[in-house]
Amino acid sequence: MRVTVVGGGIAGLTCALSLHAAGFEPQVYEAARTVEAVGVGINLLPHAVRELSELGLAGELESVALSPRRLSYRDRSGKVVWEEPLGLAAGYRWPQHSVHRGRLQMLLLAAVRERLGPDSVRTGLLFQRFEQTAGDVRAHFIDRSSGSRSPSTADADVLVGADGIDSAVRAQLHTGESAPRWNGVHMWRGVARHPDILDGRSIVVAGGTPGAKFVAYPIENPADANGEALVNWVLEVRHGPSAPPPDAPGRRITAAQARAGLSSWNLPWIDLPMLAERSSAIYEYPMLDRDPLPRWSFGRVTLLGDAAHPMFPMGMNGGSQSVVDARVLAWCLDRENDPAAALRRYDRMRRPAVNAVVLANRALGPEEIIARAADHGGALPAGQAEKIADHYRQLTRATVGQVNTHASWTVPLSAADPAR
């Protein structure tokens, strides 16, 4: 079975690896002329690390990532509000990984090209539209790499839209959908070298509600000879009416602006001016999601990752859910002889669950803990924080028991016959 994957990001590349491991023939089409190691930090939760490990990437992940041991919620003065263990320290059989998004993408790209061939990811091809019949689906692209913008087509049995929050595949499936939903918060994001924060293995979330929050965690292991590691940091801010529209992300923030924005914070265990000064680039991004869809799959076409379920970054779940999408999609295609039936099955299995996560993240997800603590003026009464965190893990199907014991999505090698 031939599968066209639109989008060469983390979701699309994981999809290609999952499909190949199941015996299918994926081809990735990416609009960018080159795939480069850009971006800031991302967290892969144990349920995603399990899936990437079952794709044979555990060693490669450990070589580029750091495994945090705890999540620490703090108030604006840096005092502990609530903490919990993460990954192996929490009892999972797989770690949690904090990693530079660009390094993760390059790791996945290298694996795709090694396993599927050097031409398995075609760049500079901007998706325009698709058309499908009872027997196949044809995708139309504009070839940006040649400079001529000449049209190009690709025929396959299935088309997967993994082209992000502004997905052109989604736009064709759901014509007339409104723009992404903005909650009024901008995120200032940077990466800088900094001495270990706390124990060097902590994810710190300080503040309270969205727009009054600071996040920092290391994304490199080990620290260098000077005891410094690469630290991802995020400052959430709310602007006045003159703020840039949310459809214009990527505004450059100067070090002076960042220092001014961080000046009201008092976190004694981190040098905030150092973070601002040492960040090679600081960019502003609006915090966006989209309304959950009633349907992802239409005949031989479906959606995956942020194209299907862009969500606010509460609970570190967006990228992890995309990885699980990819694995479940490959499993469903193996279980059904009819591609359309397989995509309907994938839709039923993933869409309701992930839609619930999108809505939970709008309601702050596990970060309800820190918002309530800010309103309360200190740590919550005994058991309340644990109840909020446990409910979110249940909702995302990521409790220790669920992750450690659920049946594998791996397609047995005896079934993964390319001749299919």
| pLDDT tens by residue, 324-341 | 999 999 999 999 999 999
Does the residue 395 lie in any domain? yes
Interval 268-289 mean pLDDT: 94
Same domain, residue pair 108 and 191: no
Query: Does residue 357 sit in the same domain as residue 393?
Result: yes
What proportion of the chain, given as a percentage, has pLDDT over 90? Answer: 84
CA 365/CA 362 separation, integer angstroms: 7
Last residue of a domain, one of 269, 289, 309: 289
Residues 267 and 173 placed together within one structural domain of the fold: no
What per-residue confidence (pLDDT) applies to 156?
98
Q: Is there a domain that residue 140 lies in? A: yes
Q: Which residues of 177-201 are buried (b: 16+ CB within 10 A; e: fewer)?
A: eeebbeeebbbbbbbbbbebbbebb
Residues 40 and 136 in one domain: yes
> Is there a single domain that holds both residue 121 and residue 187?
no
76 and 114 assigned to the same domain:
yes
In a domain, 416, yes or no: no
Q: Which of 289, 321, 337 is the last residue of a domain?
A: 289
Model pLDDT for residues 44-53, shown as the tens digit of each residue: 999 999 999 9
End-to-end C-alpha distance for the chain, whole angstroms: 6
Residue 411 lies in a domain: no
Q: Is the same domain home to 8 and 141?
A: yes
What CATH number is associated with residue 172?
Answer: 3.50.50.60
Does residue 14 form part of some domain? yes
Q: Can you read off the two tokens belonging to residue 372?
A: 């309530």
Q: What is the pLDDT of residues 288-321, one digit of tens each?
A: 999 999 999 999 999 999 999 999 999 999 999 9
Among residues 418, 296, 368, 401, the alpha carbon closest in space to that of 81 is found at: 368
Please write the tens of the pLDDT for every residue from 248-268.
667 899 999 999 999 999 999
Does residue 172 share a domain with residue 23? yes
What pLDDT was estimated at residue 227?
79
When divided into structural domains, the chain yields a total of: 2
Give me the mean pLDDT over the 184-212 stretch.
94
Instruction: Give CA separation, 63 vs 26, 77, 316, 368, in Å.
Output: 27, 34, 21, 33
On whether both 235 and 189 belong to a single domain, the answer is yes
* Domain end marker among 289, 312, 344: 289
Give, as one character, the DSSP assignment of residue 119: T
Of 1, 3, 102, 95, which is closest to residue 48 (Cα–Cα)? 95
The predicted structure's pLDDT at residue 417: 54
Q: For 282-311, b where at least 16 C-beta lie within 10 A, e where not — what string? A: bbbbbbbbbebbeebbbebbbbbbbbbbbb
What pLDDT is attached to residue 175?
97
410 assigned to some structural domain: no
Q: How many CA atoms lie within 13 A of 416 on its CB side?
A: 16
pLDDT at 39: 80
- H helices present in 156-230, as ranges: 168-173
CATH code of the domain in which 195 resides? 3.30.9.30
Q: Has residue 222 got a pLDDT over 80? A: no
| 250 within a domain of the structure (yes/no) | yes
Q: Residue 419: is its pLDDT beyond 50?
A: no
- The residue segments making up the domain with residue 278 are 181-289
Q: What tokens does 45 get?
A: 């939760």
Residues 122 and 6 in one domain: yes
Asked if the structure places residue 371 within a domain, the reply is: yes
pLDDT in tens, 84-127: 999 999 999 999 999 999 999 999 999 999 999 999 999 999 99
pLDDT at 55 over 70: yes
Q: Measured between alpha carbons, how far is 142 from 126 in angstroms, rounded to an integer?
A: 5
Q: Are residues 299 and 284 in the same domain?
A: no
Strand partners, 156: 137
CA 62 to chain centre: 18
Q: What is the mean pLDDT of the chain?
A: 93
Judgement on whether residues 93 and 137 belong to the same structural domain of the protein: yes
